[in-house]
Structure 1
Amino acid sequence: MTRDSVDQRALMADEETGQPTEKPQPAGRSVHPIVHITSWIFFSNLTILFNKWLIDNRGFRYPVILTCWHLIFATVATQILAKTTHLLDGRKNVKMTGKLYLRAIVPIGLLYSASLVCSNMVYLYLSVAFIQMLKSAAPVAVLLTSWAWRVEDPSLKRLLNVLLIVGGVALASFGEIDFSLTGFLFQIGGIIFEAVRLVMIQVLLSEDGQKMDPLVSLYYYAPVCALMNILIAIPSEANSFDFADLAKCGYWLLLLNAIVAFMLNVSSVFLIGKTSSLVMTLTGILKNILLVVASVMIWHTSITPLQFCGYAVALGGLVYYSVGWEQITGVSSAIWLWIRSLWEAPTRADESRLPPAFRRALFMTLGTLTVVILVAGALYGTGTGANAVAAVQASLSGAAGGTPTS
């Protein structure tokens, strides 16, 4: 297993995402890759935030049943797509036999099911921001598992990098205000199950020369996972399940939730077909950062300075582990040159181009908005922003009612 393959699989695998592998040939060249990158970030983060919102805000506190519903929907949807579209034509390249199904698909599907259950159970106990911080250790688990399976040779340099990431995650854990040991163990369990699954995919399927994109893998894994989740849900949640909670949550919301989770798999197929492993690595890191900021602003999650420092250390170690110093400097230089070329672009006769002054003002406005959003998220996370808003509202209401304010 190469380093790029480990990084790509660890960063691209998500709560509802199947197995990413080698890039298939893109179906067309009319759509810019940034569209596929944006759509994958959107559906990935929306799936996580949607699941958390259903469990916490809509009172559907049945994560196993919710996961089971996603997989039943995915089973039906992949069967329909296989018969009506070309999105699953990749399955024709898979030589599926009874022996391969029992030897690889079933055990990998069971691990996938366990990973999904743990990933949704953790929403009962931890905030989305802290969950994403813990997920920074996912590549570490994949690397250690690959060492244990002897598909990659250990090295001191990689070990030190791993320890840096683990140290950052540990700092973030110590700084978490609402720490739950049960939720922490669920998340670590989900990471371990996913790491073993990814390595087993590399070992078992590669030996038979099988390669699957996320949608094709979901086509084979979803029925196994759905059956496994039904067996888990019967003893764990069936006795406490109340059908009134379905109506309270909303049937259409649950259907929309399953569609969003499934669209994540579809968007990942196009992302893999349009980008490189480096782009996917950087996209995964950017996705996690945006998700932390979004969760802080939506739920006003408290982020302590120690937790922020720990997450920054873990992300720094993750970038260095995934990309390497040479590519970091190369990408940074390329981005800087691109920004300079846009900033200092000379005026041309082409009237379709924006004037340089307007273009610079636009960049400054976007930069300012980005900073404001990040600062607002940090203030809401610490409670300062919420307290300030409450104080202003109290002052305005007091002034309107003639009540003196101090």
Structure 2
Amino acid sequence: MPRPSGDSPLPTAEKPAAPAAASGLHPSLFILNWILFSNATILFNKWLLDTAGFPIILTCWHLIFATAATQILARTTSLLESRKSLPINGRMYLRTIVPIGVLYTGSLVFSNLVYLYLSVAFTQMLKAGSPVAVLFTSWAFRVAEPNLAKFLNILVIVVGVAVASFGEINFSLIGFTYQMLGIVFEAVRLIMIQVMLTAEGMKMDPLVALYYYAPVCAFFNIFVALFTEASTFKYEDLVNTGFTVLFLNASVAFMLNIASVFLIGKTSGLVLTLTGILKAILLVAVSVVIWKTPITLLQAFGYGIALLGLSYYSLGYDNVVKVYNNSTAYISATMNSYGAVPGSADGVRGGLLTKRYIVLGSAVFGFLFVMAVLFMWVNSVPTTIPVTSLGTN
């Protein structure tokens, strides 16, 4: 399920039918909706943690809110109807949901702690290495057989992340360690889901998963908070942050799960993968603007290598060839449209293609231009400006 912190992988769970109310909308709207809430959740959490601190208590609040919200939705809507087909009893709950919930708690805690020490941009660069941990974990649990081709592809991602880390100006070993622990916990959690649930034919969409996992994670997060942040947390911290702000923050995090449910089944796996990569790039760009995070050329180069390796690993050779062939076909159609007879069917269709790809090309060029300007502007800011504040009281 998408994590309350917003650092979620793309929703690639079981693909249920899309809610009827949304069946007539274009898939691009669901993609934009998911990108909006995913990135908004991360940016909102980063700002809140820099302002108030207490990442574990904030996670507890998200999970308590999600528990209450899913219980209400289960009783008032049909969004969680698929849960009734799952053969979950008390024994299975203790054997599967609880252990996975413990792993998920570790993933949440470490993933939120990292924002006290690292910038959003660098955190996203490190997260590009998540498939490495998932692959090695799958080999360790013998869910998948070791494969030399995959190993070599994974090495490209590792090299990219290593180069990006080497180029990070405000590097924090504590933050880096927290991020690595969060990635490891998440990798083990994903493999345990595959071993314990998927093997028994139990598939959950993100909202149903939240329905089952949120109470367990809330319990364990509260337990962790009692031994870490509870002793320094005061009621004044709650008042200073604001009840309205906390409610909005939890609402945005929960809406990410709703957006994931509506997104599943509306697009192909290829589009979902590309959407996740685009979302990460946009998040890096926006966070750089907001916090004026200094980015070096070496860091950008390393992130680019990691993204290329991640794209190839996630899509596979066949899909990469498919994307390349479609792109060349579009370019060829655009060029050929200039030779069509005006007013003919080919001419009209060619004209529409020409306009479409002129707009697309302009958008791509504009995006690259904006990124170049941001790079030059951010690197003109003195590097003594702190990227994050610890936000502890």
Structure 2-normalised TM-score?
0.88
Cα drift, residue 115 of structure 1: 0.7
Alpha-carbon spacing, 1:85–1:306, altered in 2? closer, same or farther (3 Å): same
Alpha-carbon spacing, 1:360–1:153, altered in 2? closer, same or farther (3 Å): closer
- Give the SS at the match of 2:192: helix
Deviates more, 1:269-278 or 1:327-336: 327-336
1:111 aligns with 2:103: yes
Cα drift, residue 336 of structure 1: 4.3
1:256 aligns with 2:255: no
**CA offsets 1:329-387 (integer angstroms, 9 cap, x no match):** 2113313434665684876699x999869767755653453233212221233135999
Query: Which of 365, 378, 383 is the matching residue for 2:380?
Result: 383
Query: Which of 133, 158, 168 is the matching residue for 1:141?
Result: 133
Query: Which of 30, 33, 42 is the matching residue for 1:39?
Result: 33
Query: Which of 159, 174, 184 is the matching residue for 1:167?
Result: 159
User: Take 2:226 and 2:8, find their aligned partners in 1: how far apart are those partners?
Assistant: 22
- Give the SS at the match of 1:274: coil
**C-alpha contact 1:81 1:87 (8 A) present in aligned 2:** yes
Alpha-carbon spacing, 1:15–1:381, altered in 2? closer, same or farther (3 Å): same
User: Take 1:174 and 1:367, find their aligned partners in 2: how far apart are those partners?
Assistant: 29
The runs of 5 or more residues in structure 2 that have no matched partner are: 385-393
Aligned pairs for 1:278-293 (under 5 A) are 278-293=270-285
Cα drift, residue 53 of structure 1: 0.9
**C-alpha contact 2:127 2:183 (8 A) present in aligned 1:** yes
**CA offsets 1:78-120 (integer angstroms, 9 cap, x no match):** 0010011111011011111111100000010111111111111
- Give the SS at the match of 1:239: coil
Deviates more, 1:27-36 or 1:219-228: 27-36
Alpha-carbon spacing, 1:323–1:146, altered in 2? closer, same or farther (3 Å): same
Letter in structure 1 aligned against 2:321: T
Cα drift, residue 15 of structure 1: 3.0
**C-alpha contact 1:88 1:216 (8 A) present in aligned 2:** yes
Letter in structure 1 aligned against 2:154: V
**C-alpha contact 1:293 1:374 (8 A) present in aligned 2:** yes
Q: Partner of 2:368 in structure 1?
A: 371
1:54 aligns with 2:48: yes
Q: Partner of 2:227 in structure 1?
A: 235
**C-alpha contact 2:2 2:8 (8 A) present in aligned 1:** no
Cα drift, residue 297 of structure 1: 1.2
Cα drift, residue 247 of structure 1: 2.4
**C-alpha contact 2:10 2:273 (8 A) present in aligned 1:** no
**CA offsets 1:275-323 (integer angstroms, 9 cap, x no match):** 2222211111111111111111111111111111111111111111111
Letter in structure 2 aligned against 1:235: F
Aligned pairs for 1:21-36 (under 5 A) are 21-28=13-20, 29-36=23-30
Q: Partner of 2:389 in structure 1?
A: none
User: Take 1:323 and 1:293, find their aligned partners in 2: how far apart are those partners?
Assistant: 24
User: Take 1:35 and 1:113, find their aligned partners in 2: how far apart are those partners?
Assistant: 32
Q: Partner of 1:318 in structure 2?
A: 310
Structural RMSD (CA): 2.8
User: Take 2:173 and 2:219, find their aligned partners in 1: how far apart are those partners?
Assistant: 29
The runs of 5 or more residues in structure 1 that have no matched partner are: 1-8, 388-406
**CA offsets 1:179-218 (integer angstroms, 9 cap, x no match):** 1011001100110011000100010012332111110010
Cα drift, residue 141 of structure 1: 0.7
**C-alpha contact 1:18 1:218 (8 A) present in aligned 2:** no
1:294 aligns with 2:276: no
% of aligned pairs identical? 53
User: Take 1:101 and 1:212, find their aligned partners in 2: how far apart are those partners?
Assistant: 14
Letter in structure 1 aligned against 2:140: A
**C-alpha contact 2:2 2:206 (8 A) present in aligned 1:** no
User: Take 1:358 and 1:341, find their aligned partners in 2: how far apart are those partners?
Assistant: 12
Q: Partner of 2:179 in structure 1?
A: 187
**C-alpha contact 1:23 1:273 (8 A) present in aligned 2:** yes
Q: Partner of 1:68 in structure 2?
A: 60
Alpha-carbon spacing, 1:348–1:31, altered in 2? closer, same or farther (3 Å): farther
**C-alpha contact 1:16 1:261 (8 A) present in aligned 2:** no
Deviates more, 1:68-77 or 1:37-46: 37-46
Count the aligned residue pairs: 375
1:331 aligns with 2:331: no
- Give the SS at the match of 2:304: helix
User: Take 1:133 and 1:50, find their aligned partners in 2: how far apart are those partners?
Assistant: 19
Deviates more, 1:243-252 or 1:13-22: 13-22
Q: Partner of 2:202 in structure 1?
A: 210
User: Take 1:294 and 1:84, find their aligned partners in 2: how far apart are those partners?
Assistant: 37
- Give the SS at the match of 1:324: helix
Alpha-carbon spacing, 1:134–1:361, altered in 2? closer, same or farther (3 Å): closer
